[in-house]
Amino acid sequence: SFTHHETSAPKFVNLEDDVDDDQIRGNYVRFRAVVESDEEGIKLQNVLKTMGAKGVVCNFIRKASMMEGAASTAETSKIDSLGESVAAYCKIVHDTDGGFDLSKLDILCQEILTEAESAEAV
């Protein structure tokens, strides 16, 4: 048999939207929110610190990035998968001077993507 004793050691807490002083004070805080601008995000982070958080990590999503995407162009409508998107990006970025073996880069990127997708499925 065992008994649980609350400790005064800092806790790791995940918070979104409304926060309570007691949840923040003395704890390590990860805060998620939608913000209008980087400045708003910095203000929120500073508020959390002044509320007594031992440490703060913020995951902000900018409202502008949540807006509906633009219509696809002829080029983007040809991309059917994330893998094709990665390959197209590598070609655009690294096919400027001919110094890269794009087939090897594409294989490496596909291996990384496959590993990430299989880890996500677990």
- In this model, does residue 108 exceed pLDDT 80? yes
* Mean pLDDT taken over the chain: 78
Q: Kindly state whether residues 91 and 56 are assigned to the same domain.
A: no
Q: Are 96 and 62 part of one and the same domain?
A: no
C-alpha span between 100 and 93 (Å, rounded): 10
- Three-class SS of residue 36? coil
Token pair of 42 as six digits:
């910095």
pLDDT higher than threshold 90 for residue 50: yes
Residues 58, 21: one domain?
Answer: yes
Q: pLDDT digit string (tens) for 51-88? A: 999 999 888 888 776 555 545 555 555 666 777 777 77
Question: Looking at 19-33, 49-63, 88-102, which range is the least confident one?
Answer: 88-102
Domain span holding position 54: 12-66
Instruction: Output the pLDDT for position 106.
Output: 80
Mapping DSSP to helix (H, G, I), strand (E, B) and coil, where does residue 58 land? strand
The span from the CA of 61 to the CA of 36, in Å, is 9
3-class DSSP state for residue 92?
helix
